[in-house]
């Protein structure tokens, strides 16, 4: 399923932009949402947050799947290697229950582990719920070894299943005066995507300031140097 961004305020990408368009995979992992017991809230919450935070044109590719390890692995591989997503966000299946296997599936398809994302998500989430430590969320890079095509790499990150946790972990926590109390993990995503060869991502700093070293900043108005 492909969903173009629908924000009318953003201009439609031209042909050059389309060739290097940022592609984000969104995967909701939930037995009950995928079987229709309840309506999926994960993908809508991810889309809503990304549409408010990212000012670079992008499109999303969405998947709603059950908590089945083989299905999760196949979905992540397809989104990384065939769809050529630059970023894949999963939601759900990170807890301790028997059916929670999203971290195992993610680690199985990764070529590099990125432990800082999981560590920071648990730190942030402790500001919201004491059960944050129950989330075993991980992040990895999957580097394509397909020699027939240009090298490609994808950052894959697990978020918890509660739809409200999506904003909490990506954006972090601000106090009443708007000061950042806990940095959201998305602040580090644009520079990570730069480093793995993806498109330059700009964000709305009122939602999420993208941090890059000074030497990596192309548009000084859009990002804050370290
Ligand atoms: N995709 C989703 N859409 C809407 N709400 C969800 C979704 N995933 C989880 N939730 C909510 O968060 C709660 C805890 O999520 P958790 O991932 O632990 O669910 P679960 O018990 O593993 O069940 P399932 O995999 O069937 O969603 C759920 O009981 C539900 O209220
Ligand atoms: N930010 C945030 N993190 C959170 C939560 C939350 O509500 N907000 N819920 C916690 C709970 S209750 C659980 S069980 C774990 C795992 O959730 P999952 O199995 O839905 O991925 O995430 C934890 N992390």
Q: ipTM of the predicted structure?
A: 0.95
> What's the domain count of the chain?
1
Confidence at residue 145, expressed as pLDDT on a 0 to 100 scale: 74
In this prediction, residue 10 carries a pLDDT of: 56
pLDDT value at residue 75 = 98
Which structural domain range is residue 195 located in?
Answer: 2-225
CATH code at position 44: 3.40.980.10
State the closest ligand 1 atom to the C-alpha of 97, by its place in the atom list counted from 1.
22
Asked if residue 68 has its Cβ within 6 Å of ligand 1, the reply is: no
User: For 56-66, what is each residue's pLDDT tens digit?
Assistant: 999 999 999 99
Mutate to test the pocket of ligand 1, among 161, 162, 163 (most ligand atoms within 8 A of CB): 161
- Indicate which atom in ligand 2 lies nearest the CA of residue 100: 19
61 lines ligand 1 (CB under 6 A): no
Q: Which helix (H) or strand (E) holds 120?
A: helix 115-125
Q: What is the pLDDT of residue 185?
A: 97
The H or E element that residue 102 is part of is helix 102-109
Q: Is the pLDDT of residue 9 over 60?
A: no
* DSSP 3-state of 151: coil
pLDDT in tens, 141-180: 999 877 667 889 999 999 999 999 999 999 999 999 888 8
Confidence class of residue 100 from pLDDT cuts 50, 70 and 90?
very high
What are the tokens at 77? 């591989």
Containing H/E element for 140? strand 139-143
Exposure letters 80-114 (e unless 16+ CB within 10 A, then b) = bbeebbbbbbbbbbbbeeeebbbbebbeebbeeeb
pLDDT band at 6 (very low <50, low <70, confident <90, very high): very low
Ligand 2 residue neighbourhood (C-beta within 6 Å): 92-95, 100, 125, 128-129, 131-132, 134-135, 160-162, 164-165, 168-169
Give, in degrees to the nearest 5, the angle at Cα 42 between 53 and 137. 85
The answer to whether 184 touches 172, Cβ cutoff 8 Å, is yes
Going from the Cα of 216 to the center of ligand 1, the distance in angstroms, rounded, reads 39
């Amino acid at each position: 399923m492909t969903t173009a961004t629908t924000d009318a305020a953003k201009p439609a990408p031209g042909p050059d932009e389309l060739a290097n368009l940022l592609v984000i995979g969104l995967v909701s992992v939930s037995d009950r949402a995928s079987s229709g017991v309840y309506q999926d809230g994960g993908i809508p919450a991810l889309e809503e947050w990304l549409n408010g935070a990212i000012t670079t044109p992008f499109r999303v590719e969405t998947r709603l799947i059950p908590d089945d390890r083989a299905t999760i692995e196949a979905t992540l591989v397809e989104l990384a290697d065939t769809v050529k997503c630059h970023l894949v966000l999963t939601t759900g299946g990170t807890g301790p229950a028997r059916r929670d296997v999203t971290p195992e599936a993610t680690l199985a398809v990764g070529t590099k582990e990125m432990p800082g994302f999981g560590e920071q998500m648990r730190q942030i989430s402790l500001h919201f719920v004491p059960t944050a430590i129950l989330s075993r969320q991980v992040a990895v890079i999957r580097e394509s070894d397909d020699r027939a095509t240009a090298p490609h790499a994808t950052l894959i990150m697990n978020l918890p299943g509660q739809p409200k946790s999506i904003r909490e972990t990506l954006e972090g926590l601000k106090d009443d005066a708007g000061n950042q109390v806990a940095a959201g993990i998305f602040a580090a995503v644009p520079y990570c995507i730069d480093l793995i060869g993806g498109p330059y991502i700009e964000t709305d700093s009122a939602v999420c300031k993208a941090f890059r070293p000074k030497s990596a900043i192309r548009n000084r108005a859009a990002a804050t140097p370290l």
